Every structure is written in structure tokens, then in C-alpha cells.
Amino acid sequence: MSNDLTNCSVNGVSRRSFLRTLGAASAAAAALPATGAFAQQKANPAPSMGGRRGGFGSDMGEMRVLNPDTVIISSNENPLGPATSSLDALIKTASMGGRYHQEEAAKTTAVYNDLFGLKRGYTALGPGSGGLLDLALMSNLGPDKPLVYGDPSYEQGPRAADTMGAPKFPVKLTPTYAHDVKAMLAAHPSPGAYYIVNPNNPTGTMTPRADILWLLKNKPKGSVVIVDEAYFHFSNDESVLDQVAADQDIIVLRTFSKIYGMAGLRAGFAAGRPDLLRKFTTVAPPARSLASISITSAAAARAGMLDKDLIPTRKKINADNRAESLEFLTKKGYTIIPGSQANFFMVDVKRPGHEFQQAMLKENVAIGRTWSAMPTYVRVTVGTKEEMAKFQTAFVKCMDMPTSTTAELYIPEHHIPTELYRG
Ligand code: PLP
């Protein structure tokens, strides 16, 4: 994390939620595979992810042991894992791990700034974007500073509002599953923050850049627009990151967990005006030791950004596999949410989604969860071609099973997604 965040003070936030906020997983990010295992992993960039699931720390969250053959397409991870360019950088840097080498993070931030035309002081690098997202949300929310957000969307928004005792104003997505910025503006006269996820999780759909610019222009003074671009690299649209350089009231989040395949290595950025980033320190204690990124992850993230082929190659693989599965489902007559530009999509299973998820697990396919706004839809992450073939077979089999008529719809208000099991 940048030096802007080194002198933070705790403000009504429990130690537990603070640790969750900062992503305690960062400490484990430097784990180095043995040379033999590393060579094997490079030869097979889609390592089996079976046999594990749940939180990052042994005492955190639910641990579910899965059959090692399980196809895991539940948490929007990238089955390709880190690119060779990132792995090479990681292994080169690991031997330097005996020293702090804070310049590694600074070098990675400089590359990011360069890519997006950002000045020094406009970016914070952290172990994943989730902790930074919490800081962005929490530092702008409170009992008199509500959160306005899309429904359905990523639950980290309303969860941060709960932590801060902030009123919540969910706003239904438009018929094309974009954030309804006009309805968001009308939802409250003076919110602390508007949270926009683009592409949206779980629908994968886009909110046009013009709509976000309209909200920025028309929103009340004093509120901030937080745009979560965790999945943006998969999309064809234009980012709003330039609005950060233009000194607007905006914070944009990006992560290395998705297209870069570094979910477990933990790296992400928040970009915003220096005064907005400095506000993070009102909800977090001194951060350098707890929230700093390992030198291995910093180097891997930097190498990924400098790898010119990485994004176009992976974007195409994802788009091809997504299109193939969506075509399969549509041809079979199932109802999907159209327009996903992410590495996941939603499909209507015409029964409680949770029940269907369990049935799929029995077929060794772990799919994603449901959202209270659409409880019969499940979210499916795009895996490899082979994984999607297994998904399709299991999907048809489970859809042909009788629906349990007595099962209640599984509709928690916003239950904790697997990505958030960390604390
Ligand atoms: N934002 C969205 C919309 C997500 O779906 C996720 C994780 O899946 C995150 C943020 C946090 O990702 P990470 O902390 O791995 O960067």
C-alpha cells in the first residue's frame, strides 16, 4: 500500500473487521513453489484446484473439502492461474525475500500510474482490491452517510455499510442489467457513496461509461462514486479511470485476481484523488505492516502489466469459452442473462438456486451462488474448455432432475460470498 496510508487511526472499527478489511492473506502470498513443482506448474498452467475451498486462514470462514476432481467455477477465479511472465518474476524476486524491499511495490505502482496517466499519490497498492474497496466504502459511509448501490450486485457494498452503521439504498438494475444511475441519484439526496460494479457481479453486464459520467456530474457535492472494475479487463468498454486523473469525486478499484490469475497471490489497486485516499486512514490503523503486498506479488503484478499479450490472449479465451457455453444453454432452451462481458454469467435454473448448486456439487461441479433479487438464477464462472464441457453435461443432468417442491427459496438479504470468507 502506498505511503499515503501509513499513518492511519482506528475509528470505531473492530480489530476483527479491520483484519478482514486488510486481507490477512497477504502474509501468505510469498509462498514459493519448490523448483520441481514450479517447473511442473509452468508446464501445466491450469493446476487442479480440487480438494480445497473456503477461507484463506485456517481459523477463518467455512472450510469445505471438495473431491479433487471437482470443477471449480464458483468464485470467478481464472483457471489459467498466473501467466508465465508473472511466475518468472515471482521466482526471481523470491530469493530477495529476506529484506523488505519497499521499492518493489513502488516500482509496481509506477508502472500502473504510467499505464493510466496517474500522478504520484493517486494510487494505493494493496493485497487484492477487496481490502482497499472496504476502505474506500467505509471511509465514505456512516449513520448520516448512506450507501446507494445496484441490486443485484456485489455484497461487499452493503456489508461495508452495515459495518459503518450506514443506511442502505439498493436500486434495481435497468432492464438491460446496467446500474440505473438516474434511479440511484433519486434514491437519496445526500449519500456518502454510490457503489457501481462494472462489469457487474453477478450479472456480468456493463453500465455505460456515459451513465457513470452523468452520475458524477449530477451527484450531490460531498458524495463519492466508487467504481469497482475488478472484471473490467474482460470487457470491451471504456474505463472511467481517466476521471481519477481529472480529479473527480471518484475512486476506481482494479484487481490482479481475475484476468491476471493471481487471486491467491493478492494484488490490487485503488485509484483516487490523494485527499480521497488519505481518508482511508480514518477507518484503518497504521497499515504498512498489515496491508503491505509481498515483493513476490508486487513483481508478479508488474510483470503481468508489462506483458503485452496477457490481456488480449486471456480476454479472447474467456470470451470464446463464455460464448460457447451461453450458446449451448440458449440452444437447449435455458434462460440466461444476456450481455455478460465478464468471466461469469447467470442462468435461470427454475428452482431454488441453492438446491441446484448442491445437485451440481454431487456431479463434481462447483458453481456460484444465488442473489436474493433473483433466487432461481445461479452464477457460473467461465472455466477452461474442458471444464465448461463437464459443466454442460452436469447442468443438463441436474436440470432434468425433479425440483424439490418443498424447498424454500434460499434468499438471505446478502449472504457472505465465498470471496469474502476471509473473515
Ligand atoms: N470486487 C468484486 C466485484 C469482486 O467480485 C471481488 C472478488 O471476487 C473483489 C472486488 C475482490 O477481489 P480481490 O480482493 O481478490 O481483489
From 154, 207, 269, give the residue whose CB has the most ligand 1 atoms within 8 Å, as the site to mutate: 154
Is residue 419, in this structure, part of any structural domain at all? Answer: no
Is residue 417, in this structure, part of any structural domain at all? Answer: no
Domain boundary among 255, 274, 306: 306
Both 100 and 51 in a single domain?
no
Indicate which residue's Cα is closest to atom 5 of ligand 1: 201
Structural domain of 357: 47-76+316-407
Is residue 415, in this structure, part of any structural domain at all? Answer: no
State residue 290's pLDDT score. 56
Is residue 95, in this structure, part of any structural domain at all? Answer: yes
C-beta of 301 in contact with ligand 1 (< 6 A): no
**Cα(231) to centroid of ligand 1, in Å?**
8
Both 201 and 322 in a single domain?
no
C-beta of 419 in contact with ligand 1 (< 6 A): yes
**Dist. CA 297–CA 301, nearest whole Å:** 6
- DSSP line for 287-343: -HHHHPPPHHHHHHHHHHHH-TTHHHHHHHHHHHHHHHHHHHHHHTT-EE-S---SS
Torsion, Cα of 123, 124, 126, 131 (10° steps): -110
**Dist. CA 72–CA 79, nearest whole Å:** 9
Residue 299 in grid coordinates: 513483481
Both 247 and 285 in a single domain?
yes
C-beta of 201 in contact with ligand 1 (< 6 A): yes
SS3 state at 252: strand
**Cα(264) to centroid of ligand 1, in Å?**
12
Q: Are 183 and 207 in contact (CB under 8 A)?
A: no
Is residue 7, in this structure, part of any structural domain at all? Answer: yes
Both 254 and 329 in a single domain?
no
From 76, 133, 253, 345, give the residue whose CB has the most ligand 1 atoms within 8 Å, as the site to mutate: 133
C-beta of 154 in contact with ligand 1 (< 6 A): yes
**Dist. CA 188–CA 195, nearest whole Å:** 13
State residue 284's pLDDT score. 81
pLDDT tens digits in sequence order for the chain, 423 residues long: 333 333 232 233 333 343 333 333 333 333 333 344 444 444 444 444 444 444 333 343 445 678 889 999 999 999 999 999 999 999 999 999 999 998 999 999 999 999 999 999 999 999 999 999 999 999 999 999 999 999 999 999 999 999 999 999 999 999 999 999 999 999 999 999 999 999 999 999 999 999 999 999 999 999 999 999 999 999 999 999 999 999 999 999 999 999 999 999 999 999 999 999 999 989 986 555 556 899 999 999 999 999 999 999 999 999 999 999 999 999 999 999 999 999 999 999 999 999 999 999 999 999 999 999 999 999 999 999 999 999 999 999 999 998 875 555 555 555 445 554 433
C-beta of 263 in contact with ligand 1 (< 6 A): yes
**Cα(239) to centroid of ligand 1, in Å?**
17
Both 297 and 364 in a single domain?
no
Domain boundary among 243, 277, 306: 306
Is residue 9, in this structure, part of any structural domain at all? Answer: yes
DSSP symbol at 284: S
C-beta of 82 in contact with ligand 1 (< 6 A): no
**Cα(230) to centroid of ligand 1, in Å?**
6
Tell me whether residue 170 is exposed, middle or buried, using C-beta atoms within 10 angstroms of its C-beta: 0 to 12, 13 to 18, 19 or more: buried
**Dist. CA 67–CA 361, nearest whole Å:** 9
Place of cell 504510467: 114
Domain boundary among 273, 306, 339: 306
* CB neighbours of residue 74 within 10 Å: 26
Both 98 and 170 in a single domain?
yes
Both 107 and 248 in a single domain?
yes
**Dist. CA 390–CA 355, nearest whole Å:** 19
SS3 state at 227: strand
* CB neighbours of residue 258 within 10 Å: 26
C-beta of 368 in contact with ligand 1 (< 6 A): no
The full length of the chain comes to 423
Separation of CA 119 from chain center:
25
State residue 30's pLDDT score. 32
**Cα(402) to centroid of ligand 1, in Å?**
35
C-beta of 109 in contact with ligand 1 (< 6 A): no
Angle at 367 between CA 42 and CA 199, to 5 degrees: 80
Is residue 174, in this structure, part of any structural domain at all? Answer: yes
From 153, 195, 257, 422, give the residue whose CB has the most ligand 1 atoms within 8 Å, as the site to mutate: 257
Q: What's the CATH code of the domain at 374?
A: 3.90.1150.10
* CB neighbours of residue 232 within 10 Å: 24
Both 219 and 125 in a single domain?
yes
**Dist. CA 153–CA 140, nearest whole Å:** 19
Is residue 412, in this structure, part of any structural domain at all? Answer: no
**Cα(267) to centroid of ligand 1, in Å?**
11
Both 62 and 12 in a single domain?
no
Q: Are 152 and 373 in contact (CB under 8 A)?
A: yes
C-beta of 127 in contact with ligand 1 (< 6 A): no
Both 161 and 208 in a single domain?
yes
Indicate which residue's Cα is closest to atom 7 of ligand 1: 419
Overall domain count for the chain: 2
DSSP symbol at 381: E
DSSP symbol at 45: S
- Report the relative pairing of strands 123-126 and 71-73 from DSSP bridges: unpaired
Both 125 and 171 in a single domain?
yes
Q: What's the CATH code of the domain at 210?
A: 3.40.640.10
Q: Are 181 and 214 in contact (CB under 8 A)?
A: yes
DSSP symbol at 232: G
Indicate which residue's Cα is closest to atom 10 of ligand 1: 130
- Tell which atom from ligand 1 comes closest to the C-alpha of 131: 14
SS3 state at 140: coil
Both 173 and 240 in a single domain?
yes
Residue 320 in grid coordinates: 470464446
